[in-house]
Amino acid sequence: MDHNIWISFPKAISLVGYLIIAYFIHITLLKPTLNLLHKIYHYHGLHCLPKNFLFGHLKLLSPNFPFPSNMEDISRNMYTWFEQTISTNKDRSLSVMWLGLFPVIIISDHAAVEAVMTKTNVKKPFFYKYIGLKNGLITSDPSLWKIRRKAIEPFFVTKRQKHFVKLMEQEIREIPEKLLNQIDKPIDMEHLIHTSTLRIIERVVGSIPLDDLKEEKEITLDLLTSIEQIAMKRAMNPLLWFDILINFFETGKSYLKNLERIETLMHSYMEHRKKVITLSPPKQPEEYDLVHLLEKHTDQTGTLEELVTSIAAGHETVSVSLRWTLFSLGNHPEIQERLYHEIIEHFPGDTPTDDFDKINACTYLDKFLKESLRLNPPVHFIGRVLDEDIKVNGTKIFKDTNIFICITSTHRDPSIYPDPDKFDPERWNPENSSKIPKSAFIPFGYGPRNCIGYRYAMMELKVYLIHILRKFSMKSTRTSESIPLKSEISLKPALPLEIILTTRHNINQEMKDL
């Protein structure tokens, strides 16, 4: 009897082992494969542009796939693909992008946006990890995001916004003088704006003085731009989705090297910050920077992740939006003049623009900015992963499906915005704006995972416009419609946004008196 038990015991162990292996195969391979096949079958009937059976839309987006394609081609094709897909969809609600055999659902209808951007759907698609921000607020998984978001939110309260405006004023008041040698000729202010917004955000979040570490700031700009472009290449090439394969490609090697260089720069910023704080410690609670707040709630790794996230997002969002805003002003002289008169009413001459309440009193400026952000949002699309099944216009969308929300199309829905391509700040009069659903205007996202610094971005845009517009009038060299667009992480022009600045009366004498 005992002998038989001992013989059967190894067999039982083997059986348990086989069952464990079978369960592992089912969970890691069979179940995901069956779920994918089910999604492929289910989403096959949704609207989409013609596709390749095996590659889906990858060849349309990245013409040389599976080999590397030019980034300019990928970003232009991405924008064009989105616009063609949604414009050929009668109800604008649901379309599908096929990245090989992997479906990504595209939505733009505000009701669909409302259904997706709920309190529970806060997970980001896998390709957000390619942006290079590691576990920062933009890219982190929901559990960590909730902790970090709660820790960072106090940094952007109204009392601190008033302090931020004073820091912005220190940098932006110098911009008109820098532009004096650029008048009466076409200029693209891209580098000036990007450099300036970077200087401000590094001062706000890390106490780096505006004129310190100039070389490091230039390198930071170049690295962030490179990482953004490579992130798009990775997203459009399934061969680059896997970290284990990325070292076999030059694109991957460059990407990893740039991430290391960014991390080194962040360490140098932190070391410099310590010296600055030691020599000149904050005197008021609102003067403490974001790093000070983070050090109370996370470790050094977390602090560095949120520092680079704040720097990357905080300068890119404002700089792209400001370039489009100035270009729009140059194409609408009557709007420009009305805005100018409102600005000089509240900020005549060289009145400092560090008065938070006076800035908020510029109501037409607020309407103008909203309309500019409607037509040219800083980001082309945002992504979510569903944490439960939902229905959109009667169509079931499964849990764990990747969703793209196309912001440019949401903002041009003719059922919400009559004559949607017209630049019309009057849309934002109280009687009109009250009819616009919140999910139909999402330049900074929507729902719990919206941009945490959107109030900061709006205030900074206003300070720039006040300083520039009260000193210069401007005329754009092209119409907005003639500028092709490209979709990287941000929505960018594929041609220079050139404007011609003309000094307003008495500016030369005013500048001499500074």
SS3 495: coil
Strands (E), 388-454: 390-392, 395-397, 402-406
Under 8 Å between Cβ of 240 and 307: no
Helix (H, G, I), strand (E, B) or coil at 404: strand
Where are the alpha helices (H) located in 295-379, listed in sequence order?
A: 300-330, 333-346, 356-361, 363-375
Note whether 476 and 501 are within 8 A (CB): no
What does the block give as tokens for 119? 């309190």
Cα distance between residue 416 and residue 111, in whole Å: 11
Cβ pair 398, 42 in contact under 8 A? yes
Tell whether residue 451 is among the known ligand binding residues: yes
393: CB partners within 8 A, 6+ apart: 91, 93, 94, 109, 111, 112
**What tokens does 112 get?**
């669909």
Give the dihedral sign, CA 91/93/94/97.
positive
Sheet holding 186-187, edge to edge: 186-187, 499-503, 472-476
Q: Considering Cα of 67, then 73, then 75, then 78, what sign does the dihedral take?
A: negative
DSSP state of 445: B
Q: Report which DSSP code applies to 395.
A: E
Provide the β-strand partners of residue 392: 395
Contacts of 67 (CB under 8 A, 6+ apart): none
Shortest CA distance to 424 belongs to which of 372, 483, 355? 372
Q: Is the distance from CB of 106 to CB of 97 less than 8 angstroms?
A: yes
- Contacts made by residues 232-235, CB under 8 angstroms, sequence distance 24+: 232/71, 232/74, 232/75, 232/78, 232/487, 232/488, 232/489, 233/62, 233/68, 233/69, 233/71, 233/74, 234/127, 234/130, 235/127, 235/130
As annotated, the binding site for heme includes 451
